[in-house]
Amino acid sequence: MASDEDFKNDNINMAGDKKDKGCWDEDCDKKGGGPDHKHQEPLFNFNKGQFKFSIWYFVAALIIIMLINSFFTSNTSETVSFSSFKDLISNGTITEVQIGKDYYTGTAGSTGSIPGSQIQVYRTIPVDDPSFIPLLDSKGIKYSAASQRGNSLISMLLGWIIPFALIMVVWRFMFNKMGGSGAGVMSFGKNNAQLVAEGDTGTTFDDVAGADEAKEELVEVVDFLKTPRKYLDIGGKIPKGVLLVGSPGTGKTLLARAVAGSAGVPFFRLSGADFVEMFVGVGAARVRDLFKQAREKAPCIVFIDELDAIGKSRLNVAAGNDEREQTLNQLLVEMDGFSAKSGVIILGATNRPEVLDAALLRPGRFDRQVVVDKPDLAGREAILRIHATDVKMGGDVNLTEIAKSTPGFVGADLANIINEGALLAVRAGRSEVLQEDLMEAIEKTMAGLQKRNRLINKKERKIVAYHETGHALTAAFTDGADPVQKISIIPRGIGALGYTLQTPTEDRFLMTKQELLGKIDVLLGGRAAEEIIFNEVSTGASNDITRATDIARSLITEYGMSDKFENMVLTKRSATFLGQESGMSQREYSETTQQYVDEEVAKIISGRYEQVVKLLKEKSAILESITAKLLEKETITSDEFTQMVGA
């Protein structure tokens, strides 16, 4: 199956911004406007009497009015001496005086002026003259104290308009950030769903491989969206919701896109995290807005990825006004209110179904759960062929062998292997991908990048060679062990000075006690070889003995394979999904039983280690020859190893 990937056709954002700005023509629908084309209204529609208000219109009008007022009330002023100012008062030229701190201002003529007329103003610097006020009184001149203010327009701009404009800009910026890309000031309740127009997903079921059972379940959904009448006529009801569950990278999102592409209906796509914001109530409002738009676009598909972000169980949660819980409650209400004839189908995807609320999974909401499991051998080969379609492959490429070498890989891993193989071919200066490029890509994915420049002293290099040969030789003579594909002492990844690559011949789902013990033998083979050759052990086997101890403990506590507690499970483990543990084990036995478990684990490890040491001593000649070859070539392939072992 192909890997999960983001949608390429996110060209319409339902939160507000649209690349299609619409048109001004009322007949735009007749001129090729699509179903998602938005008609843009003019600022003023004389037919509908609607006007779109903007605060900037108000600011512009205010500035224009102030400029006009300043123009019509403009005056000319002249600065004169104090004695001349008194003479102008005495001869009746000045009829009104304003007494200020810095200037005395006298106005000539009547202040009740004709609009547009010029008023003569005289100014003088004040002098301490006790006779000035009596002069004004004797001449009947109106006088008053002048207010201490500057230019009214500048004062208005600096004191009101500019600060107000800055506040509006900051306000709008903050709300856009909190409301999401393209959101307006009051758009918290708008959902952030990305609407992919009908037929624009570019993906159909032909692009999906390795999930045949999941595809069959979803074909019925597509058939309902295309021909709903035959289901309604017989009285049947299509599931309102389909939940896709599976490990990361198995292709849940790809399947959802394939459903939308095959059905040919609008497709809303968003993540569960898109509903959650810092403000209480925003998530519930976005859920309401999403389902309102979905009903308007029906028939359509609503795909909610990472559903566990808002659908976690409400059990064992402290009481409180939790935003996530409100969002979940609103989602439950909206899904429960769907009619069977609404034509709206909800697709959800999660890799943690065990944490979802039970109310979300009941019939009537997510009626159907489709498990998207890891692909088997045939599925992996089909996925590889899909991803290799556009890649130039060499004649020696065998995708069947690649599929056999990648047990447990999901679609995303397989897509990455094809891409890494292409990059390695380009790095080597080739124009096509060879089998060795793909095999190197597998090793790079499993063990990490080669580090040929890492300097290792001769003694440590020799220890690593014997260690890896011990693993491989033990595997070759252990019944049920996976065959050795490659031995290498080239450092890879973090801390790996060498590695032994084993690949199973077929997919396995069950293991016997003897096979588990065989795995322990192979893991202990490296340390046993070190002890045989050097009479001491190193820290290089730390990861090996950790895994061996885990297997031995699981034999006793989980698989019921001990002598004393046969067919009994001693631990309680949290819910699991597809073999992945979702929590820690909880011990449910006494200290006495714990002592028995520890002693039994030590007994198993000690017994298996003695057998491995005995085996390697018997095969000491082969051990020496393979190690010498490994020190010389640094890498031994499966064919070379099989020939040297003689198996």
CB distance 463 to 438 below 8 Å? no
- Looking at residue 427, its amino acid is R
Q: How far is CA 630 from CA 333, 397, 468, 618, 634, in A?
A: 66, 26, 9, 20, 5
Fill in the DSSP letter of residue 45.
E
Residue 254 CA to residue 303 CA, distance in Å, equals 11
Tokens of 634: 């640094």
Kindly provide the b/e burial profile for residues 533-555, where b requires at least 16 CB atoms within 10 angstroms of the residue's own CB: beeebeebbeebbeebbebbbeb
**Choosing from 277, 468, 531, 600, which is the catalytic residue?**
468
Tokens of 287: 């859920």
| 50: Cα separation from own chain's centroid | 41
Q: List the beta bridge partners of residue 347.
A: 242, 303
Residue 364 CA to residue 334 CA, distance in Å, equals 11
Task: Evaluate the omega torsion of the peptide bond into residue 299 and state whether it is cis, within 30 degrees of 0.
Answer: yes
CB distance 623 to 616 below 8 Å? yes
Q: List the beta bridge partners of residue 244.
A: 349, 370
Tokens 């006495």 identify what position?
A: 592
Helix 591-618 × helix 542-557 angle, to 10°: 130
CB distance 269 to 196 below 8 Å? yes
Note if 468 is an active site residue: yes
Could you tell me which of 346, 390, 15, 82 has the C-alpha nearest to residue 207?
390
Residue 39 CA to residue 43 CA, distance in Å, equals 13
Catalytic residue positions? 468
